[in-house]
Chains A and B, each alone.
Chain A
Amino acid sequence: MSASLRPLLTRLGPFVGLVLVITLFALPAETREYFLTYNNFKIILTQTVIVAIAALGMTMIIISGGIDLSVGSSVALTSVVGALLIQHGWGPVPVLLTVVAAGGLIGLLNGAAIAGLRMTPFIITLGTLGVARGSAKWLADNQTVNYDASPINGWMTTADPFSRALPVGVWVTVALALLTAVLLRDTLFGRHLFALGSNETAARYSGVRITRMKILGYTTAGCFFGLAGLFQLSRLRQGDPTVAVGLELDIIASVIIGGASLNGGVGTVLGSMIGALIMSVLRNGSQQMGWPTYFQEIIIGLVIIVAVFLDRLRQGKAPA
């Protein structure tokens, strides 16, 4: 195989996975008529929004050689913050901006602690996982935060469930994915993230300001997590401090299935988006097939292992 074909195959890997998963559920006649419909894919896309937006932030962090375990808690905390602001009569745009900023603030704290205290991201974000979850319950007074009505409620549904229109959340995800792809590929910020993740020492000697980059990376990612929290709020129409427990694992799995390496320096936006879609399709399809719930959990677990294993085979054979 020629060297120029190899990167193409690496790119295509997750895509082939997605097609495989869709084919798996499209083959049995009894599910095809429900599964392979525009409407069902509209549902799948809507259900992917939260994981996909968070996965955009996580892709940046993983490319820079880091990890963030506090995402699920950040989503819960920011959704509570949003619900409280709506309770206080704030309009949708100020709520949007504040919630995104709140996510960014958690990211800033993560980044500053990781870079400043020189501790591994795993430990710091494991700590903030608890801190943010507890803060969410504290702010919410240990219950769900309900409000009367807000235009935000309509961002994850369409007026007619069987219309062709897609909810706002889906379009926002697509736009942000394009933006992030450009950011990673064509800006100094993006290139420095890759440099940082590939080899921190080399990056430092070649003039990358490590501390600043780490803080910037985690803060930007945090903004994405905040936005994911806002869409979670929109879906449940309430701020739920117990929502999204374990969501970080779905998000990290999406990025890894999408071809990123936990060692840093490798990862694509397209891959992560397809990874997120694979997870949603698996859930939706298993339900359509009538598979019991425990079976779905097993399948999703196995898919993660297989995806990473295949990726390692590819990486291992690829020229350095």
Chain B
Amino acid sequence: MKSHWLALLGFCCAAALTAAEPYTIAVIPKGTTHEFWKSIHAGAVKAQRELAAEGIAVNVIWKGPLKEDDREQQVQVVENFIGRRVSGIVLAPLDHKALVAPVETAVRGKIPVVIIDSGLATNVYASFVSTDNREGGRIAARNLGRLLGGKGNVIMLRLQVGSNSTEEREAGFVEVMQQDFPSIRLLSIDQHAGATRDTAKRAAETLLSRYGSVVNGVFAPNESTGAGMLLALRDAGLAGKVKFIAFDSGETLNAGLKSGHIDGLVVQNPMNMGYLGVKTAVAVLRGEKVPARIDTGVGFVTRENFDDPALADIVNPPLDKYLK
């Protein structure tokens, strides 16, 4: 950890020397411990290096909320960057409503904001760079329905209330299940896992103790719910027996996929999100026109296509190359 901060610092200094006035871009994730956010960080650094090669000096400041998943703390982080007068902000809002006020403040202060990952209920931002999450949920449902042969009992473990990206996935999943698979019964789709792997595991355990004997398929809408569900399935002796589709990739989930405990992962491209987030923010600062909505794409990964080089950047982002 320490060495990568130093590297980043060194990099910022090097960038500062090449141009008189570099752009300072604050990149604010929802949290910092999930691998997902590290990939976004890597993408941001990748953009910074590419821009530096083009002769555009950019300092990327990476800063998550002090307490993860605490809306008030993320508001404070945004405000403090406004106080520091950064050139631009790339933000993954923890809540589609609570972050509106500080973003509006930033824009009023002539600091352009690019929203990544999760939507925000305002239109003052410069661009929204993210996965089409609803489509991702639909893809998960189509594949799970196919694996189950169109019949059986399914559980979906929700992440938490107010998280726009996962709520979209959940909605897309339920939509396709109800429309295209009339013989599949949705046993439970109203339980929330909470923010961490630990709370997700507890919620999953409760669900499996209630429905374990009848469940045939499971969907988890993000990395932490997926990992929690995987642990719970293993403990309950159901791993490999129940068809399991999760969202996002990460070491735990990838290992689960390889061991056959997970049947498929709908993967976003977080590296691309961080990369395009910073690129778009810089483009705005340079007076270029940017689209209001940029889709970063999803893919469906199984054990069979796991080593496909086309998916390498998504499945196994080269974090060390950019963060060490």
Contact = CB atoms under 8 A, between A and B. Distances in A.
B84 interface: yes
A146 interface: yes
Contacts of B63: 287, 290, 293
A245 B70 contact: yes
B118 to A, nearest CB: 14
Given A39-B83, A293-B64, A237 B98 contact: yes
B162 A161 contact: no
A238 interface: yes
A290 to B, nearest CB: 6
A201 interface: no
Contacts of B32: 293
A243 B105 contact: no
Interface residues of B, number: 36
Contact of A236 (B69, B71, B105): B71
A301 interface: no
Nearest to A234: B101
Given A161-B82, A288-B80, A235 B101 contact: yes
B75 interface: yes
B98 A238 contact: yes
A230 interface: no
Given A47-B76, A162-B109, A236-B75, A288 B84 contact: yes
Interface string B90-133: 00000101101100011011000000000000000000000000
Contacts of A153: 101
B23 to A, nearest CB: 15
B59 to A, nearest CB: 10
A51 B201 CA distance: 33
Interface in A122-181: 142-144, 146, 153, 156-157, 160-162
A2 interface: no
Nearest to A292: B5
Nearest to B5: A292
B79 A47 contact: yes
B83 A240 contact: no
A64 B109 CA distance: 45
B97 A237 contact: yes
Interface residues of A, number: 39
A298 B17 CA distance: 32
Nearest to A285: B80
Contacts of B108: 160-161
B53 interface: no
Interface string B9-50: 100000000000000000000001000000000000000000
Nearest to A232: B72
Interface string A257-296: 0000000000000000000000000011001101011001
A292 B1 contact: yes
B161 A144 contact: yes
Contact of A142 (B69, B82, B192): B192
Contacts of B5: 292
Interface in B140-192: 161-162, 192
B77 interface: yes
Nearest to B26: A287
A205 B98 CA distance: 52
B97 A144 contact: yes
B258 interface: no
Contacts of A39: 83
Contacts of B81: 287
A242 to B, nearest CB: 8
B241 interface: no
A161 B61 CA distance: 22
B83 A37 contact: yes
B195 to A, nearest CB: 9
B162 A287 contact: no
A287 B64 CA distance: 10
A262 B21 CA distance: 51
Given A40-B84, A238-B95, A292-B5, A243 B71 contact: yes
B83 A43 contact: yes
A46 interface: yes
Nearest to B190: A142
Given A43-B82, A245-B70, A235 B9 contact: no
A287 B80 contact: yes
Contacts of A47: 76, 79
Given A43-B82, A245-B70, A235 B105 contact: no
A240 B80 contact: no
A80 interface: no
B85 interface: yes
Nearest to B104: A157
A142 B192 CA distance: 9
Closest 4 A/B residue pairs (Cβ): A143-B161, A40-B83, A236-B98, A34-B84
Given A284-B80, A288-B80, 18 more contacts: A39-B83, A47-B79, A142-B192, A144-B95, A236-B75, A236-B101, A237-B97, A237-B98, A243-B72, A245-B70, A284-B76, A287-B77, A287-B84, A290-B9, A292-B5, A293-B32, A293-B64, A293-B66
12 contacts: A37-B83, A47-B79, A143-B162, A153-B101, A162-B109, A236-B95, A237-B97, A237-B98, A238-B97, A284-B80, A287-B77, A287-B81
